[in-house]
Amino acid sequence: MRCRFCLMNYEITIGLEMHVQLKTASKMFCGCATAFGAPPNTQVCPVCLGLPGVLPVINAEAVRKTILTGLMLEARIAGHSKFDRKNYYYPDMPKNYQISQYDLPLCLGGALELDYGFVDLKRWGEKKRIGIARVHLEEDVGKLTHFAGDSGVDFNRAGVPLMEIVSEPDLGSPDEAYAFLAALKEVLIEGGVSDCDMEKGQVRCDVNVSVRPREQKEFGAKIEIKNMNTFSGVRAALKYEVQRQVRALDRGEKLAQETRRWDDARGATEPMRTKEFAHDYRYFPEPDLLPIQPARDWVEKQRAGLPELPAARRARLARQYALGHYDAAMLGGSAALARYFEETAQHVRNAKAVANWVINDLQRQLVAAKLDASRSPVPPRALAELVSLVEAQTISGTTAREVFAEMFASGKSAGAIVAEKGLARIRDETQIEKWCAEAIAANAKIVADLRGGKRAALNALKGQVMKLSRGQADAAQVETVLKRQLGLEG
């Protein structure tokens, strides 16, 4: 059975839950540092260790960043929000309850548009609006490590502010899930909320997926998948799971709600073996903390201070500079690159030409040198100068590429390099006559072909002239002179 065809008979419903570590200097309820990589149990204090007698104190910056995220995701910011205790036992839990938010989260509702360009470069600009159910704030737990005979807990991570973002089940495919995650990541980075480095554990993602025959109205069994460590892992897990569920339904099996674990090494999901007790979290309002009631005018001030989001930037660049979706996407992904492009484009009329230079030559060099556009050794004005030279036909495109490489390496200006190396396009009639004559003389075979009617041979001859001129001869002129010297019509 080939799954491609099976899939067409089924409707896929996917929802995501992301846990994002907020980029704050200190933990959610105490002043401990949140830096990654410290030796175990060195970034701890009585509060985040849950010692007898301690009390939590709210990290205001974590609240602000959560509200900022809600604003960026078009959510409603609650006028009255509170923390609740989520009660369950586990060795990585200092208090055996987690301070979280249950029924009055900081942000409710919202939406984020994913762009299919994240999964297919040719589809930039093709969007889908995905609902956000809620964004709330809680504290992270410690980290368990299993050794030969026993286990250890590192509480450095316990108490780090964690923002939970729950999507509506609006995603219809593993690719959409991937694109959604990518879209969310760029928003969170742009907002300075998190660096979203999954390798450092800054983002954790759980998904749930159900499959049903297209005609069926009720949703199929909702199956949760945990333990994916990268966005690609999420997509791979979903692809596998969708296939598995479709095959099962095709075989006439009934699927039951369950939680499964993604095994990246095996490339498969498996039922979770851990003793997961039916979770009655016995939520009740956290009595040690006061409710949060953000003032409306403060919230509006936060909204006014929001940066331009990547999707909006892409759309604006496309519109403002008459660029295609792909170009706008390549330029708009990073604020620094977009800023670079826009500054350069101020000095050159041909925005498309600037776009090409930034997307190709500049980006390539920046990536190789591991530099951000804001630290480019070629400043915008310098690139503008180069592009202008090409536009004015002073140098050829090929020459310009070499010049740019030199500019990047040396920091010299285009003008300086062109002058130094005498790279300006040569239009000197006499010189071109000389080179054409030389080429004709040296390439009797090509000339013969040309006289024999092979028009393509003209390009080969032109190429020889260009070689002699080291690419600097004006191509149009060369063609004219060659034809004249050979006695051909124009």
Partner 1 sequence: MSWNQLTIHEARQKLARREISARELAEATLERIRAVEPKIQAFVHLDEADLRAQADEADAERRSGASAERKPLLGIPVAVKDLIAVQGQPCGCCSKILSGYISPYDATVVEKLRAAGAVIFGRLNMDEFAMGSSTENSAIQVTRNPWDLERIPGGSSGGSAAAVAAAEALAALGSDTGGSIRQPAAMVGCVGIKPSYGRVSRYGLVAFASSLDQIGHFAKDTRDAAIVLGVIAGHDPRDSTSVNEPVADYEDALQGGVKGMKLGLPKEYFVEGMDKEVEAAVRAAVEKYRELGAQILEISLPHTDYAVAVYYIIATAEASANLARFDGVRYGLRVEGADPIEMYNRTRGAGFGAEVKRRIILGTYVLSGGYYDAYYLRAQKVRTLIRNDFLNAFQKCDAILTPTAPTAAFKIGEKTEDPLQMYLSDVFTISCNLAGLCGISIPCGFTKNPKLPIGLQILGKPFDEATILRVAHAYEQATDWHRQRAPL
Is the Cβ of residue 70 or residue 142 nearer to partner 1 in the bound state? 142
* 42 lies in the binding site for partner 1 (CB under 8 A): no
* 96 lies in the binding site for partner 1 (CB under 8 A): yes
Relative to beta strand 258-263, strand 151-154 is unpaired
* 85 lies in the binding site for partner 1 (CB under 8 A): yes
Relative to beta strand 127-139, strand 111-115 is antiparallel
Alpha carbon separation from 269 to 67, 212, 240, 280, 315 (Å, rounded): 35, 19, 7, 26, 38
* 49 lies in the binding site for partner 1 (CB under 8 A): yes
Contacts of 132 (CB under 8 A, 6+ apart): 73, 74, 75, 109, 110, 111, 112, 165, 166, 167, 168
* 55 lies in the binding site for partner 1 (CB under 8 A): yes
Is the Cβ of residue 46 or residue 79 nearer to partner 1 in the bound state? 46
Q: Are 80 and 293 in contact (CB under 8 A)?
A: yes
Is the Cβ of residue 52 or residue 252 nearer to partner 1 in the bound state? 52
Among 91, 213, 397, 411, binds partner 1 (CB under 8 A): 91
Binders of partner 1 in range 148-207 (CB under 8 A): 153
Binders of partner 1 in range 238-277 (CB under 8 A): 275
Among 199, 218, 276, 280, binds partner 1 (CB under 8 A): 280
Q: Are 423 and 393 in contact (CB under 8 A)?
A: no
CB atoms within 10 A of CB 358: 26
Among 9, 200, 284, 312, binds partner 1 (CB under 8 A): 284
Smallest separation (angstroms) from partner 1 to the CB of 54: 7
Is the Cβ of residue 158 or residue 407 nearer to partner 1 in the bound state? 158
CB atoms within 10 A of CB 37: 6
* 290 lies in the binding site for partner 1 (CB under 8 A): yes
Q: Are 387 and 395 in contact (CB under 8 A)?
A: no
DSSP type of residue 78: P
SS3 per-residue string spanning 375-428: HCCCCHHHHHHHHHHHHCCCCCHHHHHHHHHHHHHHCCCHHHHHHHHCCCCECC
What Rg, from alpha-carbon coordinates, does the chain have? Answer: 31
* 26 lies in the binding site for partner 1 (CB under 8 A): no
The stretch near partner 1 (CB under 8 A) out of 7-15, 43-51, 403-411, 415-423 is 43-51
Question: How many chain residues bind partner 1 (CB under 8 A)?
Answer: 30
Strand 84-87's sheet: what is its strand order? 97-100, 84-87, 284-285
Is the Cβ of residue 103 or residue 489 nearer to partner 1 in the bound state? 103
* 52 lies in the binding site for partner 1 (CB under 8 A): yes
Among 50, 201, 377, 415, binds partner 1 (CB under 8 A): 50
* 104 lies in the binding site for partner 1 (CB under 8 A): no
Where does this chain bind partner 1 (CB under 8 A)?
A: 46, 49-58, 85, 87, 89-91, 94-97, 153, 275, 280, 282-284, 287-290
